[in-house]
A and B are shown apart, each in its own frame.
Chain A
Amino acid sequence: MSYIRKVPNTWWLKRKPYTLFIVREITCVAVAGYCAFLLYLMYALRQGPEAYAAALGLIMSPTSYVLHVVGLLFVLYHTITWFNVTPKVFVFYVGEERVPAVVVAGAHYAGWLGVSALVAWLLLGTGTPG
């Protein structure tokens, strides 16, 4: 009779790569959470100036600052870990040479930087209160 070993519920604590993987998976909750929050802001905006002012007041609270910092760290971790695996998915050849992984991941980072710069310019550069 073969013996089947049970996988303990703590399997993801056994080795660092597994723990980091679980952290990456959990960070998607922060991404989804922030999307829901943005939807809520839009909803408040539609309800009129008062509702929107109340929502903005909520953002300014210390709790919201803490949540934003934690959320930002989670989303950064999420983005970076995913960008780093993009070379596994996108394999391109120029002639017979494979495009190096740094170029593929680098293109994603460049795109990210570009979009961030655009958003920053829209919010800060045009004088719209952010």
Chain B
Amino acid sequence: MAQTIELEIFRYRPEQESEPTLQSYEVPYNEEWVVLDAINYIKDEIDGTLSYRWSCRMGVCGSCGMMVNGVPRLTCAAFLKEYYPRKILVEPLDGFPVERDLVTDMDMFVAKLTSVSPWIIRNEGEEKPLEEGTYLQSPGELAEYKHYSMCINCMLCYAACPVFALDTNFLGPAAIAIGQRYNMDSRDQGRDQRQEVIASHDGIWHCTLVGECSTVCPKDVDPAGAIQRAKLSSTTDYFKDLLMPWGRRT
């Protein structure tokens, strides 16, 4: 008989149950399969009622994040063979409200992301006219923020963050990393504007540096590093303002 592996899946169907349950499925074990393949198999062959998100199946779209045996993973990048022969527990990303089965409500995340103004801000009147062409940047200037720009908004870092789980007001890893991505961009002038959100109590100062956000990030964005660097530069600003109030930053 062909080998099989057991998947235990978090189910929540608001129209029929008020509390989530776990449901077990036995699927064929294939060394080349990732957890998402197994879930797709369940959906296609065993139980079409299962709801979850996915799209690219190649670690790009960031929509297939789930808790796999308690750890936030992109299910399209988590191989069955990492777990076999143990059973695999699949749950929706921690910290987010669950809409149905493995589908979380990500409105909160989108709002946080928008709040850091994730676009290039220029001072009033300092926009370069189109005919003058693009803003040039050296490889060194690009290197300053490039790894932050790799974020695929998969929210694994949020699911790994106990601070966010305990208080969802926390701006959280990816939003801060993306804010930093623009702050560190030589073409941008919007840092002061972003500071209001990033340097607030619900921003960087809420972070206690657990560091798991960076560990689980599939794109090596290192949000924990971004937050600590933002703390350092905010502290430097504070002392500069304190010691040299006449030299206020513009």
> A interface vs B, CB < 8 Å?
1-5, 7, 11-12, 14-15, 17-18, 21, 25, 85, 88-91, 93, 95-96, 98
Given the interface contacts A5-B94, A15-B71, does A85 sit within 8 Å of B12 by beta carbon? no
Q: Residue on A with the closest CB to B166?
A: A7
Indicate if the CB atoms of A88 and B224 lie closer than 8 Å.
yes
Are A12 and B162 also in contact (CB < 8 A) when A5-B94, A25-B208 are? yes
Q: A11 and B14: CB pair below 8 A?
A: no
B198 to chain A, nearest CB (A): 16
Inter-chain contact A1/B14, CB cutoff 8 Å: yes
Interface string of B191-223 (1 = CB under 8 A from A): 000000000000000001111101100000010
The 6 closest A-B pairs by CB, nearest first: A2-B97, A88-B225, A89-B228, A3-B98, A96-B140, A21-B210
Whole-angstrom CA separation of A85 from B222 in the bound complex: 12
Chain B residues with CB under 8 Å of A18's CB are 162, 210, 212
Would you call B20 an interface residue if the criterion is a C-beta within 8 Å of the partner chain's C-beta atoms?
yes
Say which residue of B98, B139, B140 sits within 8 Å of A2 (CB atoms). Answer: B98
Q: Are B209 and A11 in contact (CB under 8 A)?
A: no
The one of A2, A5, A91 in contact with B99, judged by C-beta atoms closer than 8 angstroms, is A2
B232 interface residue per 8 A CB criterion: yes
**Chain A hits for B97, CB < 8 A:** 2-4
A17 touches B210 (CB 8 A): yes
Which single residue of chain B is at the shortest CB-CB distance from A17? B212
Contact A15 B105 (CB under 8 A): no
- Report chain B residues within 8 Å CB of A25: 208
Of A1, A3, A5, A14, the most chain B CB neighbours within 10 A belong to A3
Residues of chain A contacted by B228 (CB below 8 angstroms): 85, 88-89
Closest A residue by C-beta to B211: A85
Is the CB of B187 closer than 8 A to any CB of chain A?
Answer: no
Residues of B within 8 A of A85 (CB): 209, 211, 224, 228
Taking CB atoms, residues of chain B closer than 8 Å to A3 are 12, 14, 19-20, 97-98
A11 vs B99: C-alpha distance in the bound complex, in angstroms? 22
Nearest Cβ on chain B to A4's Cβ, whole angstroms = 5
Chain B residue at minimal CB-CB distance from A95: B140
Bound complex: CA A14 to CA B69 (Å): 11
Q: In the assembled complex, which residues on chain A have CB atoms less than 8 Å from the CB atom of B12?
A: 3
In Å, the complex CA distance between A21 and B94 comes to: 18
Chain A, residue nearest B209 (CB): A85
Q: Is the CB of B211 within 8 A of A17?
A: yes
Expressed in whole angstroms, the minimum distance between the Cβ of B140 and any Cβ of chain A is 4
* Given the contacts A15-B70, A21-B210, A21-B211, A5 and B98 also touching, CB distance less than 8 Å: yes
Q: Is there an interface contact between B232 and A89, defined as CB atoms closer than 8 Å?
A: yes
Residue from B99, B209, B215, B229 having most chain A Cβ neighbours under 10 A: B209
Closest-CB distance, A15 to chain B (whole angstroms): 6
7 A-B residue pairings within 8 Å (CB atoms): A2-B14, A2-B99, A2-B105, A3-B97, A4-B98, A88-B214, A93-B143
B contact residues around A2 at 8 Å (CB): 14, 97-99, 105
